[in-house]
Amino acid sequence: MFDTLKNAWRIKDIRQKIIFTIVMLFIYRVGTYVPIPGVDSSYIQAIVEKGGLLGFFDMITGGAFANYTIFAMGITPYINSSIIMQLLTVAIPKLEELAKEGEDGRKKIAQYTRYVTIILAFIQSLGITYGLARGAIVGGTFFSYFLVALTLTAGTAFLMWMGEQITDKGIGNGISLLIFASIVSRLPVAIATTIQRTFVAKVQSVWSLPLIIVFAVLLIAGVIYVDLGERRIPVQYSKRVVGRKVYGGQSTHIPMKVNASGVLPIIFAISILSFPQTIALLVPNSGFANWVGSHFNQGSALYAIIYGLLIIFFTYFYTQITFNPVEIANNLKQYGGFVMGIRPGKPTAEYLSRISNRITFVGSLFLTAIAIIPIIASAVAKIPMYFGGTAILILVGVAMETSRELESQMLMRHYKGFLK
């Protein structure tokens, strides 16, 4: 990865994209320290320090939530909006037609996603401001609540624009890089907290430090191993004689990745799990809020079960969207290709679908284990969730995706230069 980055830096246009990405991430980090007027952040920090889901939410916002800055809502509303639009695309024929219209249809769906993001961001920010941060608002009038919610919504809208700009003009997926930068920025705090818990407060054994390091190394190795794993389906192309030339006859393969969805199922599942917390903040001191606080916290069994089921669901859902066995089978048949031992057409589509389902099942179980096992270990050993598998999976996954993006852009530039 470092060699790829070094080689990419020597290419002018790619270097400009890297600089653009770094500048946008720097602006994002500066924005996480810009406070909202009329808010006592110490009140919210005291609540976040108790841990649980709010502590994890603070981590993926890079500390902006605890300080209640303009980026306190993070990019979560945009992720929720993307999930809703993808589900509606499958359910509503009109949106499905738009998705199949090519670039114009995707732009229209992206526009709808932005509108839904603004609505969700305002509702979520108003609920958190009125429910959780009510004691931190100076004055406590309706106008003050509305102004804070409007500021948070504007911050989310700016992050949404920033993520799209990074995707279009920078390197990698902008939304994933924003979350990546947030988690990386909290790692020094997590390390300092662990050291303080071990050597100052002495609530954690010294022997837990090497265990944490070994656990993190094993997680990173496991994520890389599975992320690079793929099933190669052998494909043979028949020979065709056109005039005096013979075309085809070569052998190739269809690569089917074990973890084709990357970190998206994890991010989607976390976003969905934030809904009950938001609703509980809308109705504080109610039966539902008390139930969420006692039975649906981050270390509860119910939370872990629903978290795992959502990861499995979104892994299958994303794979079904990105991998179309019928289309692949038709393309193979059109160009004279066939899978060894399988008849072209429908049998090939059924075979590819069966293989895809098996691989996706293994990949979903791996993602679930990465996300759930650290939660169980944290509840038993009292290890902070900063070192959870979710954070490591996001960091490693985004780093590898960005590295592959750099390699692909370097390869495309090489071909363009050759064609010139």
Q: How far is CA 163 from CA 21, 81, 166, 179, 276, in A?
A: 10, 14, 5, 10, 26
Any idea where the domains of the chain sit in the sequence?
A: 2-419
- SS3 breakdown of the chain: % helix, strand, coil, rounded to 5? 75, 5, 20
- Collapsing DSSP to helix, strand or coil, 234 comes out as strand
Which pair of tokens denotes residue 402? 């960005």
* pLDDT at res. 380: 67
Query: Both tokens of residue 349?
Result: 């589509």
Question: Hey, which of 70-84, 290-304, 362-376, 396-410 has the most confident mean pLDDT?
Answer: 70-84
- pLDDT tens digits, residue range 334-362? 877 888 788 888 888 888 888 988 898 98
- The pTM is what? 0.79
| pLDDT at res. 61 | 85
Structure tokens at 207: 């022997």
**Closest alpha carbon to 263 in 168, 181, 367:** 367
pLDDT: which is higher, 332 or 116? 116
> Per residue in 118-171, pLDDT tens?
999 998 888 788 777 777 787 777 788 888 889 999 999 999 999 999 999 988
Task: Tell me phi and psi for residue 175, to 5 degrees.
Answer: -65, -45
pLDDT in tens, 233-275: 888 877 665 666 655 567 788 888 888 877 778 877 877 887 7
Q: How far apart are CA 375 and CA 53, in angstroms?
A: 12
Residue 409: Cβ within 10 Å count:
16
pLDDT at 131: 73
Please tell me the class of the 2-419 domain: mainly alpha
What radius of gyration, in Å, describes the C-alpha atoms of the chain? 24
Q: Which sign does the torsion angle of CA 267, 270, 271, 272 carry?
A: positive
